[in-house]
């Protein structure tokens, strides 16, 4: 369900206040939750999974057996495929800009029009301003 215009404006105000209050935290939150694996990382997952599949199938044709007559190459292929799947689902997906080292981060610009300044900070803490806006919303 899409947000109404009033809710979108309120969300933009909250985002602007967050950027003004703590720009480093805001940029970390913005970049951490929305980025998935890059195209290069996906290609690595696909290639490694394909190698595991080839090993799994090749193990049926090759006479290399483990104790108990179990094909060792097929087992290795399964482990490669399983490990790739776990890595793809649970692994940390670093983006190229996440590995910036000790470089200082530039302050993040709030979304919207370029060059637009965030609203002037009112007196009081962030939570007090949000509570005041919340009260005003229901008084209208």
20 part of a folded domain: yes
Can you give the pLDDT at residue 54?
A: 93
What count of Cα atoms within 13 Å lies in the side-chain half-sphere of residue 81? 14
Can you give the pLDDT at residue 53?
A: 93
Can you give the pLDDT at residue 93?
A: 57
pTM over 0.85: no
140 part of a folded domain: no
111 part of a folded domain: no
Same domain membership, residue 55 and residue 15: no
Same domain membership, residue 57 and residue 26: no
66 part of a folded domain: yes
Question: What pLDDT tens digit does each residue of the chain (140 aa) get?
Answer: 777 888 888 888 888 888 888 878 777 776 655 556 678 888 999 999 999 999 999 888 877 777 677 788 888 999 999 999 998 888 765 544 444 444 444 455 555 555 555 555 555 678 888 888 888 887 76
Taken in order 103, 13, 113, 121, is the CA torsion positive or negative?
Answer: negative
Domain's final residue, options 47, 64, 91? 91
8 part of a folded domain: yes
DSSP 27-87: HHHHHHHH----HHHHHHHHHHHHHHHHHHHHHHHS--B-TTS-BHHHHHHHHHHHHHHHH
Same domain membership, residue 50 and residue 77: yes
Can you give the pLDDT at residue 51?
A: 94
Same domain membership, residue 25 and residue 46: no
Can you give the pLDDT at residue 36?
A: 65
Q: Which residue range forms the structural domain that includes residue 43?
A: 36-91
Can you give the pLDDT at residue 104?
A: 45
107 part of a folded domain: no
Distance from C-alpha of 15 to C-alpha of 1, rounded to nearest angstrom: 20
Number of structural domains (the chain) is 2
Can you give the pLDDT at residue 97?
A: 47
Distance from C-alpha of 33 to C-alpha of 12, rounded to nearest angstrom: 18
63 part of a folded domain: yes
Can you give the pLDDT at residue 121?
A: 52
Taken in order 111, 116, 119, 125, is the CA torsion positive or negative?
Answer: positive
117 part of a folded domain: no
């Amino acid at each position: 369900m899409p947000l109404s215009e009033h809710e979108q404006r309120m969300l933009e105000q909250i985002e602007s206040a967050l950027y003004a209050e703590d720009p480093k935290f805001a940029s970390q939150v913005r970049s951490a939750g929305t980025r998935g694996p890059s195209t290069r990382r996906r290609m690595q997952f696909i290639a490694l999974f394909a190698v595991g599949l080839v090993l799994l199938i090749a193990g049926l044709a090759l006479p290399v057996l483990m104790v108990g007559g179990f094909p060792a190459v097929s087992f290795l292929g399964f482990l490669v495929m399983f490990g790739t799947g776990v890595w793809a689902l649970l692994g940390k997906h670093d983006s190229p800009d996440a590995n910036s080292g000790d470089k200082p981060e530039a302050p993040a610009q709030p979304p919207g029009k370029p060059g637009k300044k965030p609203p002037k900070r009112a007196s009081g803490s962030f939570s007090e301003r949000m509570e005041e806006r919340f009260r005003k919303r229901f008084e209208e």
